[in-house]
Structure 1
Amino acid sequence: MELYPVTRLAAVTEATSRSGLDALLLTPGPDLRYVTGYDATPLERLTCLVVPASGEPFLVVPRLELPAAEHSPASRLGVEFVPWDETDDPYALVAARLGSVERVGVADRMWAMQSLRFRDALPGVRQELAGRVLRELRMRKSPAEVAALREAGAAIDAVHALVPGFLKPGRTEREVGRDIAAAIVDAGHATVDFVIVGSGPNGASPHHELSDRVIQAGEPVVVDIGGMMPSGYCSDSTRTYSVGEPPEEFVAYYEVLQAAQEAACAAVRPGVTCEAVDAAAREVIADSGYGEYFIHRTGHGIGLEVHEEPYIVAGNTEPLAPGFAFSVEPGIYLPGKHGARIEDIVVCTDEGVERVNNRPRDLIVV
């Protein structure tokens, strides 16, 4: 099954027309990859897929990048390639081909430099975010995308299986992180997106970066890791370990955390709101007296980006639908002491929920 079928481009064109926008302008980044499969290099030279609400889409590309575009999945979509030379003005070229327009959607990750150049080339034209057109399509993963996320989940699970062998008293977080990064690539990822190894008090900082802190016996260690697969789809999973027997206080709240993560996963099914999944985890933690130590949302969408919609957070009344893929990752963090997080990527199915991460969620003592 194709990850980037021709039908996706047709669906984007239809969504653009329904939105009231006259065209989408998609520069290198996840939106362009989603529509065409072309992982274009972001450059000061403009590459831009133009998707008119009516009419045929076309890809404006620097001539020196034309061979790369022609060898990408975009070449199978029937999109016209419009190369431009070094002395051309590609923004004027886009404006001339669009003709009279009033509102365009620009890629959410478009550089400000490019947005401003389009503003000059299309004076008086209102720019809006293309994300509001693409979000419904990108949130609802196709069977091929779910398969890609399963592959990513299995790959990062294989790395977590190796982590106990890396965690030893006397090693630094950075040394462990280097081993994990190598394992992420060895497991089949194309790139390493992040490696968090939070030992002892550093585990109380959810986005702690690797440091030269030496891991001590009896300390919990939060390991949050992820990367991008050759498919372009991402992995992200957290497990918490203990190097030797952990403090009793930690064991007590880890059991609470495990129950909260299980409750949130069990809440996932079509029609349940994003905020209800967040509440399922948060209520367990709050009822046990640790509410003030759960300091972030329960989850985020994942796909071509590690963080994308939907966000599993209070105030998000978006109902889940089959194909929605996101993390479920409650955490408890005691400043100056230690912390813990358990994270799985899940997919909302017709019947309920599928986890794509399947490593044990019990505290792993090494």
Structure 2
Amino acid sequence: SGLLLALQDVLPDASWSTTSQVVGALRAVKDEAEIAALAAAAAAADRVAGALLAGEIPLVGRSEADVSGEIGARLVAEGHATVNFSIVASGPNAASPHHEAGSRRIGRAEVVVCDFGGTFHLGHDAGYCSDITRTVVTGEPGEELRELYEVLERAQSIAVAAAAPGVACEEVDGAGRRVIDAAGYGEHFVHRIGHGIGIEEHEDPYMVAGNTALIVPGNAFSVEPGIYLPGRFGARIEDIVVATSDGARALNRADHALHVVEA
């Protein structure tokens, strides 16, 4: 701070900005090598998500923390250098978007939301992040859950389609939110629809109401609508998306469907 004050004395007419303002804007636009690194990270996370959807990760009778640990171990086995987070939220805990996996044991006929990611190195890069959410159910879903999940799938798809260059970041949030609002679940979608991703799991640009910045080719961000019914259950779908000159391209390919996992 002393150096800055001295420079301001010497250059009284200069304007000053924090490095975060400059570097953040530069980091928000990924080049081809960075997009390739994000795609590799997404593919590795997809393989873990695929194991979850296929029932290869036992759920019923295990604690959320135990399942979280296995997901983290699988991320590392798939090439991640570090695990940044591994959310496993079951039953009523699934209604908490940022739940921390704990001692609760997963039961039958319960919704389980799994949101996980880490840092993946492709060659000698700085390490780029993955982030994916998939929702499963340990038994046949009831009609209410099926209908809610159909709304969620539609909201996520429409939000991704809206994420084209020249579109305001807030419109991606708005596109998905309008679908959820129209279905009567508006009050139960309680967070922004997405965040930028790169060498950190949360960075610019943020897909949130009030962010009028325009999407440009090379922006990479999550699209993750969720619906949460307090005390009952919740659901979320999340993919990482890259904006290209031809529109949005999802890097995650793991199935979106609500899988029944009776493990």
Same fold (TM over 0.5): yes
**Aligned amino acid, residue 356 of structure 1:** L
1:86-105 equivalences in 2 (<5 Å): 95=3, 101-102=7-8
The one-letter amino acid of 2:64's match is E
Question: Is 2:237 aligned against 1:331?
Answer: no
Task: State the match for 1:224 in structure 2.
Answer: 115
Q: Deviations over 1:194-250 (max 9, x none)?
A: 000000100000110111111111101000000001231100000000111123211
Q: 2:105 aligns with which of 214, 218, 223?
A: 214
Work out which of the residue numbers 240, 257, 261 in structure 1 matches 2:156: 261
Matched, 1:275 2:164: no
Aligned residues: 251
TM-score (norm 2): 0.91
How far apart, in 2, do the equivalents of 1:335 and 1:322 lie? 38
- Contact 2:85/2:117 (CA < 8 Å) preserved in 1? yes
Shift of 1:135: 2.3
Q: Any idea what SS the aligned residue of 1:101 has?
A: helix
**Secondary structure in structure 1 of the residue aligned to 2:166:** coil
Q: Deviations over 1:95-118 (max 9, x none)?
A: 4xx996229xxxxxxxxxxxxxxx
In the TM superposition, residue 129 of structure 1 has moved relative to its aligned partner by 2.4
1:352 CA drift (Å): 0.2
Give 1:268 deviation, angstroms: 1.4
Structure scoring higher RCO (CA < 8 A, sep ≥ 6) equals 2
Shift of the 170–99 alpha-carbon distance from structure 1 to 2, 3 Å rule, reads: closer
2:144 matches 1:249: yes
The one-letter code of the counterpart of 1:266 is A
- SS of alignment partner, residue 71 of structure 2: helix
Aligned with residue 304 of structure 1, among 196, 199, 219: 199
Matched, 1:129 2:11: no
- With 206-215 and 286-295 compared, the bigger mean Cα shift is at 206-215
**What stretches of structure 2 of length at least 5 have no aligned partner?**
none
Partner of 2:189: 294
Q: Is the 8 A contact 1:218 1:247 kept in 2?
A: no
Choose 1 or 2 for highest CA Rg: 1
Deviating runs (4+, > 3 A) in structure 1?
Answer: 125-128
> Among residues 143, 146, 149, which one is paired with 2:38 in the alignment?
149
Residue deviations 1:25-83 (CA, integer Å, cap 9, x gap) = xxxxxxxxxxxxxxxxxxxxxxxxxxxxxxxxxxxxxxxxxxxxxxxxxxxxxxxxxxx
Q: CA RMSD in A?
A: 1.9
CA–CA distance in 2 between the matches of 1:168 and 1:136?
A: 41
Residues 25 and 204 in structure 2, CA contact (< 8 A), matched pair in contact too: no
SS at match of 1:145: helix
